[in-house]
């Protein structure tokens, strides 16, 4: 580039303007796009039809809304969760039992941008929990849903993004395809947990089928979703609880968290698929607790501002209720399924601009 810095005032202004444009470009590369749509992945991924129980490692960045909820004192993964905004996570109420004090928000931390539980990448972030809100009518396997507010804004990029939330309504199987469950749960029933995030392609199963006597009978309600296979073999397991059942809305590339990993009888057994809390049924509740305007999304997703000012204005508008807990132990027969670009220092930016413009 043959820029003559000895030009007149107009040339200087033009040069400064051009430099500002280039600077803004580098800032976007450093901090991530300012507007990132929910439910869209930055990486191209051919997802699997393999199992979490004995399954396949997920590709880095394949599920950027996946969260590991960890007990701080043990620094151990306990449950999964889903990023649904820059301030809020979605999980299962049974992950926070009152019997051992885990209904106290101070015991938890949320880790995002994570694939290997033992390796924190440069984009991995950790947040404390500012508010833990369980459904007021949570009881055993009923109303098994919770939302968590983090203590600091979550910056979005290639490896950390929000899943879309379906519009509050009755769940309709025919609207969804390419469903996957993800998590760090056991590789097999009574087996060992995985260190690497696992993914499994699952099939949505109708309520009528799942309510058959030799399946789950009346234990499954219209507030739940069954997903898996009649013959078993593919399923979530303990340690996957609270994580997302992610499905694509037909005709789009967006993933929605249509279910929250909740319960099942054993893991990957015949006629015993995974059972998930239906997020569309609880859309109004999520909206009320978080202030996220799901009902206005028209199932087209929403965009989240990746700037502190936007996040602050959102927080000011939201009234966070006092955290409550209604933890109840589960029956023994049921099994709980318990990118940002690199940071570029200012000096490096100046050096890049100097070389670019000289």
Closest residue by Cα to residue 199 from 255, 145, 252: 255
What's the confidence (pLDDT) of residue 191?
82
Task: Give the mean model confidence (pLDDT) for residues 281-297.
Answer: 90
CA distances from 245 to 33, 103, 203, 241, 326 (A): 26, 23, 11, 11, 24
Check: CB of residue 70 under 8 Å from CB of residue 166.
Answer: no
Task: Please give the positions annotated as active site.
Answer: 94, 144, 241
What's the confidence (pLDDT) of residue 313?
33
Percent of the chain past pLDDT 90, that is, above it, reads: 62
22-31, 66-75, 245-254: which range is least confident on average? 22-31
Task: Give the mean model confidence (pLDDT) for residues 12-23.
Answer: 38
Distance CA 316, CA 320 (A): 10
Residue 162 has pLDDT above 60, yes or no: yes
Distance CA 311, CA 323 (A): 21
Residue 100 has pLDDT above 80, yes or no: yes
Residue 140 has pLDDT above 60, yes or no: yes
Q: At 268, list the tokens.
A: 């990957």
Report which listed range, 190-199, 272-281, 338-347, is most confident.
272-281
Say which residue, 320 or 156, is predicted with more confidence. 156
Provide the β-strand partners of residue 228. 203
Q: What's the CA angle centered on 267, arms 68 and 223, to 5 degrees?
A: 75
Mean pLDDT, the chain, integer: 78
pTM of the model: 0.76
What's the confidence (pLDDT) of residue 337?
63
């Amino acid at each position: 580039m043959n820029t003559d810095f000895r030009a007149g005032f107009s040339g200087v202004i033009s040069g400064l303007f051009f430099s500002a444009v280039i600077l803004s470009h580098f800032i976007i590369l450093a901090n991530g796009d300012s507007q990132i749509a929910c439910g869209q992945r930055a990486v191209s991924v051919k997802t699997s039809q393999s199992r979490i129980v004995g399954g396949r490692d997920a590709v880095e960045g394949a599920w950027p809304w996946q969260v590991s909820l960890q007990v701080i004192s043990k620094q151990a993964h306990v449950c999964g969760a889903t990023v649904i905004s820059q301030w809020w996570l979605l999980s299962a109420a049974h992950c926070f039992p009152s019997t051992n004090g885990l209904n106290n928000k101070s015991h938890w931390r949320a880790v995002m941008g994570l694939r290997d539980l033992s390796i924190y990448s440069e984009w991995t972030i950790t947040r404390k929990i500012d508010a833990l809100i369980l459904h007021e009518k949570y009881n055993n396997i009923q109303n098994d849903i919770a939302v968590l507010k983090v203590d600091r804004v979550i910056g979005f990029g290639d490896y950390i993004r929000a899943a879309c939330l379906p519009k509050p309504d009755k769940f309709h199987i025919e609207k969804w395809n390419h469903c996957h469950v993800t998590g760090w749960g056991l590789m097999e029933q009574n087996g060992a947990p995985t260190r690497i995030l696992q993914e499994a392609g699952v099939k949505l199963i109708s309520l009528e089928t799942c309510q058959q006597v030799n399946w789950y009978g009346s234990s499954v309600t219209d507030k739940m979703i069954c997903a898996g296979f009649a013959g078993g073999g593919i399923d979530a397991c303990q340690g996957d609880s609270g994580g997302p059942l992610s499905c694509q809305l037909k005709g789009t590339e967006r993933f929605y968290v249509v279910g929250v990993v909740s319960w099942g009888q054993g893991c990957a057994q015949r006629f015993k698929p995974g059972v998930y809390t239906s997020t569309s049924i609880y859309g109004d509740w999520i909206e009320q607790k978080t202030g996220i305007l799901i009902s206005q999304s028209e199932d087209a997703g929403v965009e989240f501002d990746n700037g502190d000012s936007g996040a602050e204005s959102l927080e000011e508008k939201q009234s966070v209720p006092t955290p409550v807990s209604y933890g109840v132990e589960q029956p023994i027969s049921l099994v709980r399924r318990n990118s940002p670009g690199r940071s570029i220092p200012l000096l490096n930016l100046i050096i890049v601009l100097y070389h670019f413009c000289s």
